[in-house]
């Protein structure tokens, strides 16, 4: 059978991509660099090459967590509750990037032009410590456009269960304050009362927002997330869409409780901070020979380290953001060989394809265009 199409013509082997002029500011050139430098000197918001947000306010949430209220430039495109924001700082001459969930609401951005990220200081975390100790009102922070798929648009139900641990509350807090009218149970796990982020705001919402139920579980007192907790505080969990956010260990335990309860996998939406490597991969520990083809460097992998870590060990400085598979900043081209997704254990290869270096663990001989 022959299928005819009308309205377009093409000659086999002669298809050309339409001409796309490169906008002036995206061209690499002395003129662009120099003009941008001059504009930045007048005001960082005028830069066309970088997006600079002014720090408007810094709020201490707990002993190790602060909220930074930022005013992005006009060309920042806004966000949906649950998305994350890439940020970068120069630390000892090296640009260090991370992504943080936005903890404010889209409505706050529409009304006041400000957004907020809430950052928990991590032991040994370069950027989180620099933000925590150094960033002050009046200073500037490099940001990117917000991104992410962990949003309420995923859910069609009116009944939701939010499960959070530690700083995993931040995107859920944004979702919670961004909408009203849904029946939401939030179960929030923290080690102690002093570590509860947004404690006052959550209590206030529980008093004033119809349909919102707050359950704070202190692991020192109540233990980690377990089946009896959900049976007691959210007996209709199987009728709800579930949004989960927290560190890897919490996500694993929460998912196993939801499995036992019978909450369908396609009714769960997850966001995890930090890379939680699937133990089946580390147990197997398959060795690797990695060749970075652009630089000619070679390293050995032990089946436990990601390509991003191996590249850094080799002295390369590849681009990255979240280091946990969320932002795609670390995307690079695998030319050949097999890699495993550190989170799911899914194998990718041996063909050439784009991969996220921060979650790819190489196995055998792998060639990467870095
Ligand atoms: S650094 Fe964000 S996905 Fe790899």
Assess whether pLDDT exceeds 80 at residue 359: yes
Which atom of ligand 1 is nearest to 359's Cα? 4
> Six-digit token pair at 358?
């921060």
pLDDT of residue 306: 94
Distance 210 CA to ligand 1 centre (A): 38
Average pLDDT over residues 179-198: 93
For 31-76, the pLDDT digits (tens) are 667 677 777 667 676 676 679 999 999 999 999 999 999 999 999 9
Using the atom order of ligand 1, give the atom closest to the CA of residue 358: 4
pLDDT of residue 221: 85
In angstroms, what is the span from residue 65 Cα to ligand 1's centroid? 23
CA separation, residue 118 to residues 68, 71, 189, 312 (Å) = 6, 15, 17, 28
d(CA 218, CA 96): 33
CA distance 364 to 288: 4
In DSSP notation, 281-302 reads: HHHH---EEEEETTTTEEEEE-
CA of 5 to the centre of ligand 1 (A): 41
pLDDT digits (tens, 9 = 90+) for 242-284: 999 998 889 989 999 999 999 998 999 998 877 777 778 777 7
pLDDT tens per residue across span 158-176? 999 999 999 999 999 999 9
Residues with CB under 6 Å of ligand 1 are 320-323, 325-330, 356, 358
Q: Are residues 261 and 236 in contact, defined by beta-carbon separation less than 8 angstroms?
A: no
What pLDDT score does 10 carry? 37
| DSSP strand pairing (140-143 vs 51-62) | antiparallel
Atom of ligand 1 nearest to the CA of 356: 4
By percentage, how much of the chain surpasses pLDDT 90? 64
pLDDT in tens, 233-244: 999 999 999 999
Q: Which of 306, 310, 312, 327 to mutate to test the pocket of ligand 1 (most atoms within 8 A of CB)?
A: 327
Name the pTM for this structure: 0.79
Domains and CATH numbers, the chain: 29-143 (2.40.30.10), 158-273 (3.40.50.80), 279-368 (3.10.20.30)
Residue 17 reports pLDDT greater than 60: no
Residue 99 CA: nearest ligand 1 atom is: 2
């Amino acid at each position: 059978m022959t299928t005819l199409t009308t309205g377009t013509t093409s000659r086999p082997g002669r298809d050309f991509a339409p001409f796309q002029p490169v906008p002036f500011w995206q061209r690499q050139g002395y003129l662009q660099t120099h003009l941008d430098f001059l504009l930045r000197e007048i005001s960082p918001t005028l830069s066309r090459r970088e997006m600079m947000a002014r720090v408007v306010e810094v709020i201490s949430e707990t002993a190790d967590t602060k909220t930074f209220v930022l005013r992005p430039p006009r060309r920042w495109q806004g966000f949906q509750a649950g998305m994350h924001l890439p940020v970068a700082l120069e630390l000892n001459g090296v640009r260090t990037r991370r992504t943080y969930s936005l903890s404010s609401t889209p409505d706050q951005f529409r009304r006041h032009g400000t957004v907020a990220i809430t950052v928990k200081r991590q032991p040994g975390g370069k950027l989180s410590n620099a933000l925590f100790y150094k960033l002050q009102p009046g200073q500037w922070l490099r940001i990117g456009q917000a991104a992410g798929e962990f949003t309420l648009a995923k859910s069609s139900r009116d009944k939701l269960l939010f499960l959070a641990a530690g700083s995993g509350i931040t995107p859920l807090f944004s979702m919670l304050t961004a909408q009203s009218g849904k029946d939401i149970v939030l179960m929030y796990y923290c080690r102690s009362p002093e570590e509860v982020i947004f404690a006052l705001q959550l209590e206030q919402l529980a008093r004033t927002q119809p349909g919102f139920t707050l359950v704070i579980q202190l692991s020192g007192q109540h233990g980690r997330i377990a089946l009896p907790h959900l049976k007691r505080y959210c007996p209709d969990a199987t009728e709800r869409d579930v949004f989960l956010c927290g560190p890897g260990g919490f996500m694993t335990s929460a998912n196993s409780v939801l499995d036992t309860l019978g909450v369908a996998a396609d009714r769960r939406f997850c966001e995890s901070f930090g890379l939680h490597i699937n133990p089946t991969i580390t147990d197997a520990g398959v060795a690797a020979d990695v060749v970075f083809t652009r630089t000619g460097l070679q390293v050995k992998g032990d089946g436990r380290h990601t390509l991003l870590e191996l590249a850094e060990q080799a002295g390369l400085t590849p681009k990255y953001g979240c280091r946990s598979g969320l932002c795609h900043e670390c995307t690079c081209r695998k030319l050949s060989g097999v890699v495993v997704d550190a989170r799911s254990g899914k194998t990718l290869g041996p063909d050439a394809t784009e991969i996220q270096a921060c979650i790819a663990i190489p196995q055998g001989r792998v060639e990467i265009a870095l």
